[in-house]
Amino acid sequence: MRRQLLSELGILLLLVGCGTQVEIRGRSAPGRISLGIPTKSQQATPTLPAHLVLDERVFAEANGNKVLDADEMGELTLQVRNDGLGAGKVSVRLTPLSLATDLRFKRYTDVGIIPVQGMLSIKIPIEATAQVEDGLREIRVEIVEEYSRSTLPFTVAFQTSRRVKPELRVIVREYDDGRFFSGNTPDGLIQAGEMIKVVANVQNLGGEAAAVLVEVKTDAKEDIRYTRDLQGNWDSHFALGRLATGENRDLVFYFFTTPVFTDPKVHIQLEISTAQRLFVAAEKLTFDIGQSVETADVLAVEAVRQLQTAFD
């Protein structure tokens, strides 16, 4: 009964604390008091306008070759300042003007509030998928000040490049039948019973190769044996890492035969693979008993790049 009477007569609430008095008047439902504070959605926009200025716009990609390659991440960086008299609310909208199904990026980014004389650095990732094709891409960029609905528009343009498959080959760059083994006759000829040091060179004639792995295998005969070094390391796997177009890398190993080896040739097979098995191949190195080995110079980088064109 008393609660009903208070509800009908209204409520006068006097708060006294720390010398401050706040008087709140009004009719409220039981158990709820409205303090009259506007919600975020009810707050008014600033009475003074913002004025956005675009100081810098840069598009860069991870490997720095000025092309967004397949599976590569790029980034559009914007520097925006507010020279106005009021705060601004900033968002960025991206609209593709060319093929974009093989690109990944956010069409809308809510950046937030920029105060008067404030500066914002905005970074927007743009990623090429593994299936990206060659071409010129254009994206319309709009920096929007939401309170006044003013816009700073411009177009960003960049090239994309499809994936070129790796193309790896192996050459014998150097060999040695020298004095590191007392059973050798260092005359440049491969003889049964000698231990031979081989410097093989792996070259990439195609697109970038990631996680290159080479395994050395001998014929399935006990009279041809392999060692990675002179300490008896039998690990036959060489992890060469990344090989860019035109890049090459050496790997060193040893083999020897029994003195009673009668075959005219020794075959050493190198099995090569890359990440995601984009390239898998087996190359055979042949060493003729009683003869010297024909070695090859490492191709110049420019020559390799010219060879790459043949694979496109």
Q: Mean pLDDT in the chain?
A: 83
Q: Span 8-20, mean pLDDT? A: 36
Tens digit of each residue's pLDDT (9 = 90 or more) over 40-88: 544 567 789 999 999 999 999 988 888 999 989 999 999 999 999 999 9
pTM of the complete model: 0.58
Instruction: Considering only residues 222 and 300, tell me which one the structure prediction assigns the higher pLDDT.
Output: 222
Instruction: Considering only residues 239 and 278, tell me which one the structure prediction assigns the higher pLDDT.
Output: 239
Tens digit of each residue's pLDDT (9 = 90 or more) over 86-108: 999 999 999 999 989 999 999 99
Tens digit of each residue's pLDDT (9 = 90 or more) over 125-184: 999 998 999 999 999 999 999 999 999 999 999 999 998 889 999 999 999 999 999 999
Give the up-direction half-sphere exposure of residue 180: CA atoms within 13 A in the CB hemisphere. 13
pLDDT-wise least confident of 1-15, 77-91, 109-123, 290-304: 1-15
Confidence of residue 277 (pLDDT cuts 50, 70, 90): confident
The tokens describing 158, both together, are: 């960049």
Q: Please give the pLDDT value at position 20.
A: 32
Instruction: Considering only residues 233 and 1, tell me which one the structure prediction assigns the higher pLDDT.
Output: 233
Confidence of residue 220 (pLDDT cuts 50, 70, 90): low
Instruction: Considering only residues 182 and 294, tell me which one the structure prediction assigns the higher pLDDT.
Output: 182
Structural domains present in the chain: 52-161 (2.60.40.3880), 168-311 (2.60.40.10)
Q: Please give the pLDDT value at position 63.
A: 83
Confidence of residue 15 (pLDDT cuts 50, 70, 90): very low
Confidence of residue 221 (pLDDT cuts 50, 70, 90): low
